[in-house]
Structure formats: structure tokens, C-alpha cells
Amino acid sequence: MTAWTTSAGQHTVECTTLPRPRPGPAQLLVRVIVCGVCRTDLHVIDEDIPPHADRVVPGHQIVGEVIATGADVTGYDIGDRVGIAWLRHTCGMCEYCRSGRENLCPRTRFTGWDEDGGCAQYAVVDAGYAYRLPADVDPFAIAPLLCAGIIGYRALRRANLPPGGLLGIYGFGSSAHIAAQLAMASGARVAAITRGEGNRQLARDLGVAFVGDSDDVPPEPLDAAIVFAPVGAIMPQALAATAPGGTVVSAGIHMSPIPEFSYDELLFGERDLRSVTANTRADGDQFLRLARQLGITPHVTVYPFGRVDTALEDLRAGRAEGSLVIAVADDAGPADQGDAAK
């Protein structure tokens, strides 16, 4: 099969040929239709987070169809539409797994980091970690929800935003623009603080209450803030903009160093500083149902399978707004909305 793999120490990907994977007894073999591009893919490729596998296939926002099942799999039929996300294995026995916090399991394994992901024609996944998707789902619209959407949902839950409150969002990429839609659907107001006129225009198009450049201050104190940009210097900025009793959440898997800041000025006043670590499968199930009910739709830019490297570079350089999605299969078809395929 054709696949894109990381290249150790080179901070790039290359197109190559790999054997088609075979499903284990409890696994599904999936023909990949589309795969979303995530900033975490860049963190894997650039080794911002420690490499877990040599020449791994990145990509963990996968929509595909089941073409084979392992001997122990029940409940799946050939042709079923499924999603494969970041979380792909937990031990099921530790205190975190037993208490509904499997995202903190010390033996977690992740798609596109520990094991091959979706920038390939085929992928495998344990059946218990696949998401069942409706047959009529638009694969381009659902792919970004499988990581960007789920993480935005978990970050929003951890932000403790009061009803009708003002949420600050720092960075307005794939996850942020989905979280903004979710927050506004619940009655919240949103202030988007982000670099890049394209990102700011996307925020305006979505109807957020305030749109500012990366150094701008919201016109009133925030009730909560989520920092999606992997820039540690933004954390004190978000704390300074948040009212006493508010919460600031870091939603990324990686962040540059956070500079020293004044406890008295920025954290005192019962402000909470929190992080997000991956997600549970329950998060994914809850969010996907909610997104379908609310009609949450990401803004997508579609790239052909032969341009995975271009998509990653565009993400790195901030040349595309919203979510980037790879049309892996020839029959993936055009996206219903978003930018034209490049």
C-alpha cells in the first residue's frame, strides 16, 4: 500500500510503499477514505514530543470502511463506516482506567505516534477503540471532529464556563474553531485572540463576539479561557485577561516553556490553571452525538493524498484556516464546503 511515514531526525514525511496491515484477532482492517491533519502530527514529525516509533505513519483523524475483521470481533460488518482517533489502547486495569479516566492510563498507545495512522491507504484498530459512524456522514466534515473536535469538547468541559459566560480562545485553528461553535451553541459568547488575518476572518464568519490579534486584550474580563496555540507565553496573557474565579485551560499536547509570572497578579483570586491530556472514549462518544445534534461543521481545506507533505507545511506556516483533510481514497469525493482541493 502507499503510505506517508516520518523520517527520524529529518522533521519531514516521505511517500513510500508498505505491506498492507493484517488485523489481529480483536482488530478491524479499515480502508482509509479521508484523514484529517492535526498539529499533533507536526509535533510527532518535528519530535517536539519524544518519538515512540521509527518511521511511523502519522494521522489520527481517520474515516474509513471496514474491509476485514479479526476472528474475535463481533458487531461489525464489512462495509461499516468507522472512525479511528488518537487514543487506541489502554490497559483497562489501572486506577485511572477503572475510574473513568483512561486518558491518564500510563500504558496508553496512540494512533500515528505509537502505531501507524491514517496517512496510508489502510489502517488497523482494535474494535473497542473504533467509533461507529453513520453511513450517510460526510467524511470530510467528520474527520476533524475525531481529534480536534473531541479535544475542544474536553477542553471546554474543563474550562468550567458559566452559562452565558465569555470564553476566550487563544489560537483559532482546527480545534478552536470547532470549540467556538460548540460554546456558542450552548449560549456562551466567544472572544477569539489569534494571529493571522485568515484565522481572524474565520472567527468573524462564525459570529464570535470579539476578534483580536495575538496581543490584543478582550474588551471585558473573561469567565474562562482555552489556549490552543502551543506557545507558553500566551498562558500569562490568558490569566491576565481572566476574571477572578475563572479557569484557563491549556489544550495542547505540547507547549513551549511558560515564562515566570506573578502569583499575586495572575493566579491569586482563585483562578484555576488546568491542562487537557488526550481524551476518553466516552468523551468521543458524547461529543460525536452532540456535534450531530447541533450540526457542528468544521471549515475544511481538502488536499489530495499525493500532497500530504504540502498539507503539513501549510499547517506549519499557517497558510490554511480551519481544518485540513486528506482525500486518501480515489472515491472520497469532493467536500461539501470549505476550500477547493489543491
What residue ranges do the domains of the chain occupy?
Answer: 2-137+299-327, 149-275
Place of cell 456558542: 184
Distances from the Cα of 285 to the Cα of 79, 85, 259, angstroms: 21, 11, 36
Give the pLDDT score at 104.
98
Give the pLDDT score at 131.
98
Residues of the chain with pLDDT under 70: 333-342
Give the pLDDT score at 259.
96
- Output the average pLDDT for the chain: 95
Q: Are 1 and 103 in contact (CB under 8 A)?
A: no
CATH number of 149-275: 3.40.50.720
Distances from the Cα of 311 to the Cα of 119, 145, 185, 329, angstroms: 11, 18, 30, 16
**Would the pTM count as exceeding 0.85?**
yes
Give the pLDDT score at 332.
81
DSSP state of 178: H
Can 2-137+299-327 and 149-275 be said to share one CATH topology? no
pLDDT tens track for 117-127 = 999 999 999 99
CB atoms inside a 10 Å sphere around CB 46: 15
Give the pLDDT score at 335.
61
Using alpha carbons, select from 47, 120, 129 the residue that is nearest to residue 89: 129
Phi and psi of 143, rounded to 5°? -55, -50
d(CA 111, CA 146): 12
Give the pLDDT score at 342.
42
Q: Which CATH class is domain 2-137+299-327?
A: alpha beta
| Cell matching residue 91 | 490497559
Cα Rg of the chain (Å, integer): 19
3-class SS of residue 52: coil
d(CA 75, CA 322): 35
d(CA 270, CA 267): 7
Give all strands (DSSP E) within the chain, no chain letters: 2-6, 13-17, 27-37, 62-69, 81-84, 87-89, 109-110, 122-126, 130-132, 166-170, 189-193, 210-212, 222-227, 242-250, 272-275, 300-304, 323-327
Give the pLDDT score at 9.
79
Phi and psi of 274, rounded to 5°? -130, 165
